[in-house]
């Protein structure tokens, strides 16, 4: 039941205007570290106010961490509370880690015995959930990628290679090299190819404590690239969405996609 609720929240985040939808995010305690011993604590949440815990935690079963050398990294001290999930990651390697929650859900509706039925769940559950005699079956899939980047000592890019599935952001400017007064450029990909003409929304954290969202909207060019100039330091949430027909479930005709990243901008 909880995962169904998360799935519904994810779909709302894709379809609704970013100013009104619940925002899904992961938040690192910081993004740049130096020295030998380094740990990062990460929160995962869906909330009404950005980086404020007031809605539901996100399930950590979808957690995927890539170490600087491209190998999987393991989180520890995982915990799910009432409003947020949390975990720790020891940065044992120098370089940049890619920390992500990659969620994939299926939504189905059909008619049975004169009544409308609805179901939400994981792709491998749909065969058991939907009866063989379902009429007017309508199935869609959602793929969400929520991520952040954390660097110990020197930045690297081996962990930030394209996955070629759904929406993803490939930095032109390194994501842990963002400073006030400088312009950063990123590239949006859809299934490994530049995603042109898509709107990307950028919001600084702390929305609970100001009267306006102060949302910036930028649009990708023909190479899928967009640029952002930072005027204030802090944690920022970047988000975009799309849809296609490249589903992993035979019954599904449409796939809804959402991408968001948490980036830290430091003072000059």
- For residue 88, count CB atoms less than 10 angstroms from its CB and return exposed for 0-12, middle for 13-18, buried for 19 or more: middle
Residue 260 belongs to a domain: yes
pTM summary value? 0.89
- Tens digit of each residue's pLDDT (9 = 90 or more) over 209-250: 998 889 999 999 999 999 999 999 999 999 999 999 999 888
CA distances from 161 to 17, 65, 66, 150, 200 (A): 29, 13, 10, 15, 20
Q: Where would I find the beta strands (DSSP E) of 166-214?
A: 167-171, 183-190, 193-194, 199-204
113 assigned to some structural domain: no
Q: Are 25 and 262 in contact (CB under 8 A)?
A: yes
Q: Is residue 43 part of a domain?
A: yes
How many structural domains does the chain have? Answer: 1
In a domain, 116, yes or no: no
The predicted structure's pLDDT at residue 3: 53
Please give the pLDDT value at position 227. 97
pLDDT at position 104 is 87
Q: Which residues in 38-134 belong to E strands, given as ranges? A: 39-47, 56-57, 63-66, 76-80, 85-90, 95-112, 115-121
C-alpha dihedral sign at 49, 50, 53, 55: positive
Tell me the pLDDT tens digit for each residue of 136-171: 999 999 998 999 999 999 999 999 999 999 999 999
pLDDT at 9: 52
Does residue 41 fall inside a structural domain? Answer: yes
The reply to whether 199 falls in a domain is: yes
Beta bridge partners of 143: 104, 257
Q: Give the pLDDT score at 17.
A: 41
Residue 25 lies in a domain: yes
Q: What is the pLDDT of residue 23?
A: 85
At residue 19, the pLDDT reads 45
Query: CA 75 to CA 89: how far, in whole Å?
Result: 5
Domain that holds residue 39: 2-106+139-265
- Collapsing DSSP states into helix, strand and coil, what is residue 11? helix
Would 119 be classed as within a structural domain? no
Q: Are 42 and 99 in contact (CB under 8 A)?
A: yes
Q: What is the pLDDT at residue 112? A: 87
Strand, coil or helix: 33 = strand
Tell me if 167 sits within 8 A of 185, measured CB to CB: no
Mean pLDDT, 10 residues at a time, over the chain (268 residues)? 51 46 88 95 92 89 96 97 95 98 90 88 87 88 94 96 93 96 97 95 93 93 97 96 90 91 96
Give residue 152's pLDDT: 98
Write down the pLDDT at residue 250: 85
| pLDDT reported for residue 16 | 43
């Amino acid at each position: 039941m909880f995962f169904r609720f998360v799935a519904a929240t994810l779909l709302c985040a894709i379809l609704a205007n970013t100013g009104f939808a619940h925002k899904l995010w992961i938040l690192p305690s910081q993004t740049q570290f130096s020295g030998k011993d380094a740990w990062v604590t990460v929160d995962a949440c869906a909330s009404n106010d950005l980086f404020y815990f007031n809605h539901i935690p996100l399930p950590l079963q979808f957690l995927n961490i890539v170490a600087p050398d491209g190998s999987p990294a393991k989180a520890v001290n995982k915990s799910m509370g009432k409003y947020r999930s949390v975990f720790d990651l020891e940065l044992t390697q120098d370089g940049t880690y890619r920390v992500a929650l990659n969620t994939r859900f299926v939504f189905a509706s059909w008619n049975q015995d004169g009544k409308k039925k609805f179901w939400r769940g994981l792709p491998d559950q749909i065969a058991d959930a939907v009866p063989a005699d379902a009429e007017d079956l309508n199935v869609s899939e959602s793929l969400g990628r929520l991520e952040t980047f954390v660097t110990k000592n020197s930045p690297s890019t081996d962990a930030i290679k394209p996955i070629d599935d759904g929406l993803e952001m490939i930095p032109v400017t390194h994501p842990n090299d963002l400073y006030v007064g400088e312009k950063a450029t990123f590239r949006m990909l859809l299934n490994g190819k530049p995603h042109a003409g898509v709107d990307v929304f950028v919001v600084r954290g702390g929305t609970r404590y100001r009267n306006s969202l102060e949302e910036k909207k930028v649009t990708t060019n023909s190479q899928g690239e967009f640029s952002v100039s930072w005027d204030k330091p802090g944690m920022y949430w970047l988000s975009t969405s799309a849809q296609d027909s490249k589903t992993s479930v035979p019954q599904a005709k449409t796939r809804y996609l959402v991408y968001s990243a948490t980036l830290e901008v430091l003072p000059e």
